[in-house]
Structures are given as structure tokens and as C-alpha cells.
Amino acid sequence: MKKVYEIAEKIEGAAIIGDKDAICTSIERDSRKVKEGTLFVAIKGANFDGHDFLEDAQKKGAVAVLSENDFTPPKGMTLIKVPNLEESLKIIAPFFYDYP
């Protein structure tokens, strides 16, 4: 488990909009797999845009969203805005899961 601010401080140029003390228990890219405490990663792909699933993710328990887009997150959900989503994931995934 990590607090939003602990995750954000690992990424140069990250900004937090919302509760910096929200506790994330998992990281997930697929909104169908979100559970209570998830940090949802909103990726825009060729066929789908994760931002279209923010409300679904929140209803399933996501407390925060990681995105490189600038937007106002749904009420009660914290945004970690990063300059480069893929590079940010490479940094935070090992940190989140306590890998060296």
C-alpha cells in the first residue's frame, strides 16, 4: 500500500489533484479488474481510451487515476498527472510493489 503523494514524488513533474493521502492498494490498467483502493491507469490506446472508464473504475473502488491528460477527476477520485505515462509506470511499479 502506498499513499498518492508517495507515488507522485517518485515521478519528476507529477502533480496531484485531490487527496494526496489517499491510499492505493493496487495498480490496474483494465477497469474491469479494478477493486477497492486501486490506482487506475488511464491509457489511451488504439481502440479504447481509459479516460472513458473513469466513472466505472471509481464505482468499483478506484481511489486515484494516473494520467498524462489534464482534466478534473470525478468527485472523490484523485488525479496523479504525469508528463509521460509509460515512463511513469516503469518508475512506480517497482516502487509500489517494493521491488529493488
* Domains (range + CATH), the chain: 2-96 (3.40.1390.10)
Q: Residue 99: pLDDT band by 50, 70, 90 thresholds?
A: confident
Contact 69, 81 (CB under 8 A): yes
Count of residues making up the chain = 100
Looking at residue 50, its pLDDT comes to: 95
b/e sequence 25-45, b meaning 16+ C-beta within 10 Å: ebbbeebeebeeebbbbbbee
Query: pLDDT (tens digit, 9 = 90+) per residue, 14-73?
Result: 999 999 999 999 999 999 999 999 999 999 989 999 999 999 999 999 999 999 999 999
